[in-house]
C-alpha cells in the first residue's frame, strides 16, 4: 500500500511539473483528478492500516484527535 501511495504521490508531482512547463497536451492525456482521488484514498487506507497495527501492538493512541 505504501508503494502505491508513493507512486500516486509521484503522479501528483508530475502534474505540477507539467503545469510549470506549460505542456497542456500532457495534462489531457491522463486523468489527474482521478489520480488525486486515488492518492487520497490510498493515504486514508494506509492511515487505517497503521492505526490497526498500533492498536494490535498496544501502542498508546490516547493523544490522537478523534
44 vs 51: CA distance, rounded Å: 11
- Predicted TM-score of the model (pTM): 0.75
Instruction: Read off the pLDDT of residues 10-42 as tens digits, 9 standing for 90 and up.
Output: 999 999 999 999 988 888 888 999 999 999 999
4 vs 11: CA distance, rounded Å: 11
Grid coordinates in use for 42?
Answer: 490510498
Tell me the average pLDDT across 51-57. Answer: 88
**Confidence band for 7, pLDDT divided at 50, 70 and 90:** very high
**Which pLDDT belongs to residue 65?**
67
Average pLDDT of the chain, as a whole number: 89
Nearest to 32 by CA among 50, 6, 14: 14
32 vs 8: CA distance, rounded Å: 10
Amino acid at each position: 500500500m505504501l508503494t502505491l501511495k508513493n507512486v500516486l504521490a509521484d503522479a501528483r508531482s508530475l502534474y505540477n511539473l507539467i503545469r510549470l512547463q506549460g505542456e497542456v497536451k500532457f495534462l489531457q492525456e491522463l486523468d489527474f483528478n482521478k489520480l488525486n482521488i486515488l492518492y487520497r484514498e490510498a493515504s486514508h487506507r494506509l492511515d487505517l492500516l497503521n492505526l490497526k497495527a498500533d492498536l494490535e501492538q498496544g501502542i498508546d493512541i490516547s493523544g490522537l484527535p478523534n
